[in-house]
Chain A
Amino acid sequence: MKGISLMKNISFVKKRHLFLKKAIPLLATISPVTIWLLLLVAAPLSYVFYLSFLSTDGYKLIYKLTISNYRELLNPIYLEIYKNSFILALLTTIVGILLGYPFAYHMARAARNKKALMMLLLMIPFWTNSLIRLNGWKTILGKTGVLNTLLIKLNLINAPLEILYTKGAVLLGMVYILFPYMVLPIFASIDKLDFSLLEAAGDLGANSIKTFLHVTLPLTAPGIFSGTILVFIPSLGYFFVSDIMGGGKSQLIGNLIENQFKAANNWPLGAAFSVLLIISILILVSIYKRTGGDMKNLGVV
């Protein structure tokens, strides 16, 4: 009996020793990352998640768990907003691909110095505050803006066109703001493309359209997927675009969240909207991964 317990003891000590031997260096190396992740990702997300189960009396939080916020999410008014958000995000992505792909293709195939110039033209606005840039659009598209004034002066129209504060204007702003996010991953995948593959396709009897459909497009699809993820997700949440370009007339999920946290002072409901948004993003990303997308292509991992 004594022998057995001694054996147990020894094996326990061994295990403990092994654990310490492995865990300490492991912890030591990953700790900065771990701390960073805990502090900046896990903690705020958990708080948002916790918050979404609380309620408010209009002034301060009531610390009693409830799912009333989630019931509120199914309110038909909100469902309409989700639908609008989703359609806008979808349109933004589609327009982004249609405009971004040719741009990226041209950039990838351009000579070295031209490539650098195009990259610079793409990036300079990107580094400028997006609120300022969107307000710039207002001076162009507004009722007394540059465009309308010009068209009236040219006698092409009699009365100013209603461009600003429409859904179209929001779409324009969204595409404009998110354009680099679409172009850059597509550019990266076209730039990587081995040009001899296109020659091979031509050699084997494919004309330029067939070559594009059978070779170029499938091989650059990861770039399009990455761009889609990078554009679709933010366009659900960029409330300031619809604020500025849509004049607050068209509400998006992002606006809902903003309103609950600011004007309505209903943090728990805002948190519930946020959780909804996070979950739908997770679903999208998992679909992306499931269909063979590589997280590296998103530039986030």
Chain B
Amino acid sequence: MTGERKAIVELIKVNKKYGENHVVHDFNLKIYEGEFLTLLGPSGCGKTTLLRMIGGFEDVTDGQILIEGENVESKEPFERNVNTVFQSYALFPHLNIFQNIAFGLRMKKIPKAEIKSRVQEMLELVQLNGYDKRYPGQLSGGQKQRVAIARALINRPKVLLLDEPLGALDLKLRKEMQLELKKLQRKLGITFIYVTHDQEEALTMSDRIAVLNQGYLDQIDTPMEIYERPKTKFVADFIGESNIFEATINEQKGKDIKIALEVGEALARLDKEMFFADGEIVYACVRPEKLKFSKTKIEGFNIQGLVKEQIYVGNIIKSNIVIGNGQTLKLSRMDADEIPLIGELVNIYWEPEDAVIMKSRDHLIYSAIDRWI
């Protein structure tokens, strides 16, 4: 699939250093035409720095950035065919909405009549008809957001860069805008590069997610793959809730492996070929909704836990189960399903294919290995 698609933005061994502070490490990434790619990570992981380097607001310390196959490191922001939606919207307070949206076209000396019709088109696109005479100070957060998007899109960029654009909005509005942005992106077919620290937002909107960890690319995959098959402990931990066990490999037969946890034994099945040495230390990750419990012992599993507490979250009930080494496991069930009782001693197990086994190496070695393969 990736072979046929055209990369519109390509990062090749990109590095960024602020003095001694190495923010982005040997970053390789291909972003394809028309895709919605999210750079996801906690604050300080380098995601905004990456976006700003693509936009031209930060210099690249080392490496190359190609936009439409062209090297852009020496190009100023105004020479690049990308536009940015800023975190704080950055609307010009002294210009009204019409003038704000028209700014890019005015800079390019487009004829007045065309500016007028294109601004009108944009106002309709972001559903702000009739707001053209107002000033940014008179708009709500959500409206300002729409203006910022319209102001960027009117230039018909090949790539739109969005730096946590929904960060300042309240939850309900944010959800609405997420869907709207996604719809807009599908309709226009423009590549969106979206920066966020909100994993739910990333899962909802993206075609692909790049998870960043301290300036390294830990994993780039579809939202489903990221959630179901995290490649590193960091990804498993950061995306959604998960139960992570440190384990050693007891026995491997093809894709079926037996592992020993601190508190007992368990089974796992790999989804692709991976080879482990006997006794190799790995991490096993099981999502709370995949964790199962039983009164009776299950073949291959030997983990017992005490149901400590239950949290009711609308349609889902979360149970905390404490196991022998003091670790608290999270188990979640739909309201209608059978749930364990507080104070009950239960056997914990899971379907072997629901456990994800991750090599216990730090991400540096991991991403290096990934590149060589």
A residues contacting B by CB (< 8 A) are 194, 196-197, 199-207, 210, 214-215, 218-219
Contact = CB atoms under 8 A, between A and B. Distances in A.
B173 to A, nearest CB: 21
A202 B55 CA distance: 10
Given A199-B57, A203-B77, A207-B78, A218 B107 contact: no
A265 B78 CA distance: 66
Contacts of A214: 103, 107
Interface of B: 55-57, 76-78, 83-84, 86-88, 90-94, 103-104, 107-108, 151-152, 155
A199 B85 CA distance: 11
Contacts of B87: 196
A201 B155 CA distance: 13
A199 B90 contact: yes
Given A203-B78, A204-B155, A205-B155, A196 B88 contact: yes
Given A207-B76, A218-B94, A219-B93, A201 B88 contact: no
Given A199-B57, A206-B107, A194 B94 contact: no
Nearest to B76: A202
13 contacts: A196-B86, A201-B92, A202-B56, A203-B56, A203-B57, A203-B84, A204-B78, A204-B83, A204-B152, A205-B78, A214-B103, A215-B92, A218-B94
B108 A205 contact: yes
Nearest to B104: A204
Nearest to A197: B90
B366 to A, nearest CB: 34
Contact of B78 (A194, A206, A218): A206
B88 A194 contact: yes
A199 B92 contact: no
A195 B248 CA distance: 52
A219 to B, nearest CB: 6
Nearest to B55: A203
The residue in A199, A202, A204 that gathers the most chain B C-beta atoms within 10 A of its C-beta is A204
Contact of A194 (B83, B90, B103, B108): B90
- Please name the 10 residue pairs, one residue from A and one from B, whose CB atoms are nearest each other, closest first: A204-B104, A200-B90, A205-B107, A202-B77, A196-B90, A205-B78, A206-B107, A203-B84, A218-B94, A203-B77
Contacts of B77: 199, 202-203
Given A196-B87, A202-B77, 12 more contacts: A196-B86, A197-B92, A199-B57, A199-B86, A200-B90, A201-B103, A202-B56, A202-B78, A203-B55, A204-B155, A205-B78, A205-B107
A47 B140 CA distance: 53
Contacts of A205: 78, 104, 107-108, 155
Contact of B107 (A194, A196, A199, A210): A210
Contacts of A215: 92
Contact of A203 (B83, B91, B93, B108): B83
A8 to B, nearest CB: 49
Nearest to B87: A196
A194 B87 CA distance: 12
Contacts of B155: 204-205
Contacts of A219: 92-94
Contacts of B86: 196, 199-200
Contacts of A194: 88, 90
B111 to A, nearest CB: 16
A210 to B, nearest CB: 6
A201 B107 CA distance: 9
A201 B103 CA distance: 8
Contacts of A199: 57, 77, 84, 86, 90
Contacts of B83: 203-204
A146 to B, nearest CB: 44
B9 to A, nearest CB: 15
A215 B100 CA distance: 11
The residue in B56, B76, B107 that gathers the most chain A C-beta atoms within 10 A of its C-beta is B107
A12 to B, nearest CB: 46
The residue in B56, B103, B108, B152 that gathers the most chain A C-beta atoms within 10 A of its C-beta is B103
A54 B94 CA distance: 50
B148 to A, nearest CB: 9
Nearest to A215: B92
Contacts of A202: 56-57, 76-78
Nearest to B94: A218
B56 to A, nearest CB: 8
Nearest to A206: B107
A203 B159 CA distance: 12
Contacts of B78: 202-207
Contacts of B151: 204
Contact of B84 (A200, A207, A210): A200
B181 to A, nearest CB: 18
Contacts of B76: 202, 207
Contacts of A196: 86-88, 90
Nearest to A221: B94
A214 B91 CA distance: 13
A36 B88 CA distance: 45
A221 to B, nearest CB: 8
